[in-house]
Structure 1
Amino acid sequence: MAAGDRFEVLVVCTGNVCRSPVAEQVLRARFGERFARFSSAGTFALVGQQMPEQAQELARLLGAEPGPLHAPRLIDASMIEQADLVIALTREHRGEIVRLLPRANRFTVTLREAARLIECLAAAPEGDLDLAPLRTVPVPDALRALAPMMMAERGLATPPTAADDDDVVDPFRQAQEVYDRSGEQIIDAIDRIEAALRRLAERA
């Protein structure tokens, strides 16, 4: 399958050395890249640096194999334009993305918010959700159709208890316990997204 035929997911944090590459690598390990392609960038990328060893170890613990040649990239509007879905690690990152490309508001979501929204979509009553058309199109196109359906749940999903419950904590230059908490937040969201996708697939 040509690269352009895959569902493009861009993951964004600040420095592109901890949260976004870890999430990118775990998503790739979890879902593969037959139908989707995962990349990452930073709003204030530490270009020329590598993932800290703690971040690499975190990716391994979460089931990924961190690439030794990960190169932090500074996000720009063209990267956002090419994505089908942009996953920010915090609401602040989401705001920066939308400032670069205002129409990205329609396809940019934080990782933890995505888990809430897709769970809400998967729990929709049988008569409210018509997934049958997704069976007749290639998987990347089904994902492109599913993404706006997920985003439309913003007005329906139960809001977080606290606003920062939609953020993943930044572990850069922090103690190991902060790396652990960041990893727990990332893997919890990805686990929930995968489970909800499986439920939706069973209903299609």
Structure 2
Amino acid sequence: MELMTVCTGNICRSPLAQLILATRLRDLGASVHSAGVRGLPAAVMTPEAIDLALESGVSEADADAHRSRYLTEAMLSAPDLILAMTRDHRRELAELAPARLRSTFTVREFARLAASLDDTTIASSAAAAGSDPSARLRAAAAAVAGQRGLAIPPADPADDDVIDPYRREWSVYQRSAQQLLPALDQVERVVRLAAA
């Protein structure tokens, strides 16, 4: 099972999501990566993003080891689930790899759509794909994607985005985390149901 998280510079939101998911899903052997659509080469996470990662149970060694990467088309073929931080990032992903659209979401969109499905529906979608973990996660993601146009959309489309805290005050980092963390709970739920 492979997941990819994507933001702009790959130093705040996407590495935070990557590290939290990698920590939470370690027992499943899931592989989680991140990159930025305008990523800086080999930059460290911002100190604030590291603080949020540590608060969320990520080890200091894992947080310190992160180096940013620039997103390339080749990176998008392997992940079973691709999670963008904003609708603009999702659009850029769709332009880079249109064939991956059913596996590509903003993280909050994914959470909103997944919340409209019960555990049994997700698990049975995964089971229909057989025993391969990657195929199972892709099938679960396809079931979530099938809720597009069926689930109630957010009142404000921006509610599917995670705010960018870069170069902003700590309160913005906290608000960004408050948007991201509940969404990651739903990602973890779907991945675990797919793996079961």
Common fold by TM > 0.5: yes
Return the TM-score normalized by structure 2.
0.88
For residues 84-131 of structure 1, give each alpha carbon's deviation from its aligned partner in whole angstroms, at most 9, with x where no partner exists.
Answer: 1110000000011111122222211000011011111227xx7x7781
Q: Give distance in 2, aligned partners of 1:33 and 1:86.
A: 20
CA contact (8 A) 1:119 1:196 kept: no
Residue 131 of structure 1 is matched in structure 2 by 124
Q: Give distance in 2, aligned partners of 1:130 and 1:187.
A: 23
Describe how 1:143-182 pairs up with structure 2 within 5 A.
143-182=137-176
Candidates 174, 181, 186, aligned match of 1:187: 181
Tell me how large the CA RMSD over aligned residues is: 2.3
Q: Give distance in 1, aligned partners of 2:79 and 2:64.
A: 24
Residue 91 of structure 2 is matched in structure 1 by 95
CA contact (8 A) 1:111 1:166 kept: yes
Q: Given the alignment of the two structures, is residue 72 of structure 1 paired with residue 72 of structure 2, yes or no?
A: no
Candidates 15, 22, 25, aligned match of 1:21: 15
Q: Give distance in 2, aligned partners of 1:109 and 1:190.
A: 12
Q: Give distance in 2, aligned partners of 1:187 and 1:133.
A: 24
Residue 111 of structure 1 is matched in structure 2 by 107
**For residues 132 and 178 of structure 1, do their structure 2 counterparts lie closer, same or farther at Cα, with a shift above 3 Å needed?**
closer
Kindly state the Cα deviation for residue 17 of structure 1 after the two structures are TM-superposed.
0.3
Residue 2 of structure 2 is matched in structure 1 by 8
Q: Give distance in 2, aligned partners of 1:133 and 1:68.
A: 35
Amino acid aligned to 1:54? E
Amino acid aligned to 2:3? V
Kindly state the Cα deviation for residue 164 of structure 1 after the two structures are TM-superposed.
0.5
CA contact (8 A) 2:2 2:31 kept: yes
Amino acid aligned to 1:13? C
Amino acid aligned to 2:91? G
Candidates 48, 51, 57, aligned match of 1:57: 51
Q: Given the alignment of the two structures, is residue 86 of structure 1 paired with residue 82 of structure 2, yes or no?
A: yes
3-state SS of paired residue (1:131): helix
Return the TM-score normalized by structure 1.
0.85
3-state SS of paired residue (1:64): coil
3-state SS of paired residue (1:17): coil
**For residues 37 and 133 of structure 1, do their structure 2 counterparts lie closer, same or farther at Cα, with a shift above 3 Å needed?**
closer
CA contact (8 A) 1:120 1:156 kept: no
For residues 155-176 of structure 1, give each alpha carbon's deviation from its aligned partner in whole angstroms, at most 9, with x where no partner exists.
Answer: 2111112000000000111100
Q: Percent identity?
A: 39
Kindly state the Cα deviation for residue 67 of structure 1 after the two structures are TM-superposed.
2.9
